[in-house]
Amino acid sequence: MPDWQFEKSAWATGADAVVGIDEAGRGPWAGPVVAGAVVLDPEIIPKDLLSRLDDSKKLKPRAREELFGALEGVARIGVGEADVAEIDHLNILQATMLAMARAVSDLGEPSPDFALVDGNRLPDLNCELECVVKGDSRSLSIAAASIVAKVTRDRIMVALDERYPGYGWEHNAGYGTREHQNALARLGVTPEHRRSFAPIRNILSPD
């Protein structure tokens, strides 16, 4: 379960506002990549809420939604995204870094002075940074950010499912499931598909 270990190390350096950053949506064939940035104050956030924070992938959708709502009242939250055009132009890694930077910017002032980032790549931010591999299951701030990113992106994909019905995005979130593959064969590629991804590129240019 995540704890305060990494935040405490950051606070020990003199940092005041420590932000956890995570993303959702690097792997899907459609839709944006979304990042969450969350600053938690241990003096404010309820202990019962802390005990329920975890890697968003380990939580059921209803639990994620409930935790997102609870976090909105007790944490500073920022959200950023990079759309399909940016993913195809930059590549998914750089688009993810862009979404992370936008999420931190969305926090407003005061800007964080230390960032804990899930994974092994760092975005370009004006503060101290630390990579935390599997951070969403090790750091409370990153776990909170993973929930924010996942819930936000899932909501986006539900809205896109209404605009482009038949692909099952409401429940597959744009991942390359069998249902999604069959829909692509039947309905074709939409403007929300990532043309830089091989499965989509191969449909558009089979030779």
Residue 141 three-state SS: helix
Kindly report, residue by residue over 136-177, the tens digit of the pLDDT. Answer: 999 999 999 999 999 999 999 999 999 999 999 999 999 999
With pLDDT > 90 as the criterion, what percentage of the chain qualifies?
99
Residue 105 pLDDT > 90, yes or no? yes
Query: Is 207 a residue whose pLDDT tops 70?
Result: no
Contact 135, 7 (CB under 8 A): no
**The two structure tokens encoding residue 126:** 């004006």
Q: What is the three-class DSSP state of 143?
A: helix
Mean pLDDT of the chain: 96
Q: Read off the amino acid at residue 180.
A: H
Describe the crossing of helices 5-12 and 140-163 by its angle, rounded to 10 degrees: 120
- Residue 79 φ then ψ, to 5°: -130, 140
Report how far residue 7's alpha carbon sits from residue 13's, in angstroms, rounded to the nearest whole number. Answer: 10
In sequence order, the β-bridge partners of residue 38 are 20, 77
25 close to 96: Cβ distance less than 8 angstroms: no
Domain ranges of the chain: 5-152
**Class at the top of the CATH hierarchy for domain 5-152:** alpha beta
What confidence tier does 206 reach under pLDDT thresholds 50, 70, 90? confident
> What is the spatial distance between Cα 107 and Cα 200, in angstroms, rounded to a whole number?
34
Question: What separation in angstroms does the CA of 172 have from each of 18, 154, 156?
Answer: 33, 9, 12
Q: Which residues pair with 118 in a beta bridge?
A: 132
Q: Which two tokens stand for residue 185?
A: 């064969």
Enumerate residues 6+ apart whose C-beta is below 8 A from 131: 117, 119, 120, 121, 122
pLDDT digit string (tens) for 39-97?
999 999 999 999 999 999 999 999 999 999 999 999 999 999 999 999 999 999 999 99
Q: Rounded to 5 degrees, what are φ and ψ at 128?
A: -65, 145
Q: What is the pLDDT of residue 7?
A: 98
